Amino acid sequence: MKINIYYGGRGELVDPTIAVLDRMTDVLKSLNVNVDVTRYDIHEQKSQIPTLPQTIEGCDGIILATTVEWLGIGGYMMEFLDSLWLYGNRDLISAIYMQPVVLSTTTGEREAMLTLENAWETLGGPLCEGLCGYVADAAEFSANRDFEKIIEKKAENLYRTLSQKPKALPSSKQAVSQSVQRTQRIILTPQESEQLSQYVTDDRYVKKQKEDIIELSSMYRNLLGGAGDTSEETENELIRGFVGAYVPQTDEWLSFVFEITDEEKSMLVAAKGQEVECRFLSKSEAADAYDSETEQYDLYLRITLNVLTNITSGRETFQRAFSTGDMTARGRFETIRMLDRCFPFKED
């Protein structure tokens, strides 16, 4: 049995949908050792979305999961559904059951789940009972045993549905869509599909484009007088601040990449025992860090120069900046607290 999970959220560490998907994956694998569960985080493969419909081949069922943060299912999931409509194999879709999973941190989770169900029915696929809910506190939600039982039950229902493949009455939405649809699916040969994706799936091409964008941005800033550019003196001050404040905490390497969003520069901070390294990354290294995000480093953090300066001046802490949303992070969430321990900056 093969099940694919397509996660359309932004990948935030505190996203409750991720915790739900992890639990469902564990349950599905425990029910049968032959269950193959593969998760696709769309935000990490946004350059390859046109080719993602090819991954549904051989699936018995899929889970479409997203988080409602302000309105609807979000852009990544919508773009994936668009690609299914344009490039997906309708014959394959017609035999694949879909279970929607939608959690909301605001409102509208039921409407979002209905959107996913309507989209899949329009594509011609059968449905499985979905899961939706509102989450006020992610930590409290994850620790609630009653909620965990509900999640486990939904995973079990998906497994039973895929095992039994129950028949359902025809859907009027499918019938009407087939008779009145005006947008025709783009039918591509294997050669045309390869040509379509040769750029969006070429890591070297995408990396070169990012480097060119960074170089052009720096060039235009210099033409405008260098406004907003991080001076060499400021870079050296940040480096000296991290090195001077370092307090050894562990004998294992910890590595953090700070993307200074308003300066389009990235800084690496790594520490182990008495050793500490702090330097700004080159354009190619910054592009590699952005692409790998959590694979190569413990944390990939996005922060403005002003907030980072407030932290190194002792007026702010990493934990408080993360809690207020002034800093976002991806990677090993548990290492965030190590930042304030390793670098206890003191106010001048």
Domains annotated for the chain, with CATH where assigned, are 2-193 (3.40.50.360), 232-342 (3.30.1050.10)
User: Which residues of 281-347 form beta strands (DSSP E)?
Assistant: 299-303, 328-331
**pLDDT per position as a tens digit, 309-325:** 999 998 889 888 888 88
End-to-end CA distance of the chain: 61
pLDDT at 195: 57
pLDDT at 202: 57
Mean pLDDT of 292-311: 81
Mean of the per-residue pLDDT values of the chain = 84
182/72: higher pLDDT: 72
**pLDDT per position as a tens digit, 204-224:** 666 666 667 766 666 665 555
**pLDDT per position as a tens digit, 3-40:** 999 999 999 888 999 999 999 999 999 888 789 999 99
Mean pLDDT of 122-148: 92
pLDDT at 194: 52
- Phi, psi dihedrals of residue 276, rounded to the nearest 5°: -145, 135
Band (288; pLDDT cuts 50, 70, 90): confident
Band (80; pLDDT cuts 50, 70, 90): very high
What percentage of the chain exceeds 70 in pLDDT?
81
For residues 154 and 28, give the distance between their C-alpha atoms in angstroms, rounded to a whole number. 10
User: Which residues of 116-253 form beta strands (DSSP E)?
Assistant: 131-134
Band (155; pLDDT cuts 50, 70, 90): very high
Sequence-distant (6+) residues with CB within 8 A of 314 are 345, 346, 347, 348
Band (53; pLDDT cuts 50, 70, 90): very high
Mean pLDDT of 269-284: 88
pTM of the model: 0.55
For residues 66 and 76, give the distance between their C-alpha atoms in angstroms, rounded to a whole number. 9
271 secondary structure, DSSP code: E
Sheet holding 2-7, edge to edge: 36-41, 2-7, 61-68, 97-104, 131-134
pLDDT at 177: 58
- Find how far residue 227's CA is from the centre of its chain: 32
In DSSP notation, 11-48 reads --TT-HHHHHHHHHHHHHHHH-TT-EEEEEEGGGGGGG
Quick one: tokens of 290?
A: 């952005």
Is the CB of residue 265 less than 8 Å from the CB of residue 303? no
311 secondary structure, DSSP code: H
**pLDDT per position as a tens digit, 10-19:** 998 889 999 9
Distant-in-sequence contacts of 310-318, Cβ < 8 A, 24+ apart: 311/345, 312/237, 312/238, 312/241, 312/242, 312/245, 312/345, 313/345, 313/347, 313/348, 314/345, 314/346, 314/347, 314/348, 315/347, 318/343
For residue 305, which of 338, 280, 334 has the smallest C-alpha distance?
A: 280
pLDDT at 37: 95
Band (294; pLDDT cuts 50, 70, 90): very low
271/232: higher pLDDT: 271
Band (228; pLDDT cuts 50, 70, 90): very low
Determine if residue 345 is left, alpha or beta; phi over 0 gives left, psi from -120 to 50 gives alpha, anything else beta: beta
In DSSP notation, 124-162 reads T--B---EEEE-S-HHHHHH-HHHHHHHHHHHHHHHHHH
pLDDT at 178: 59
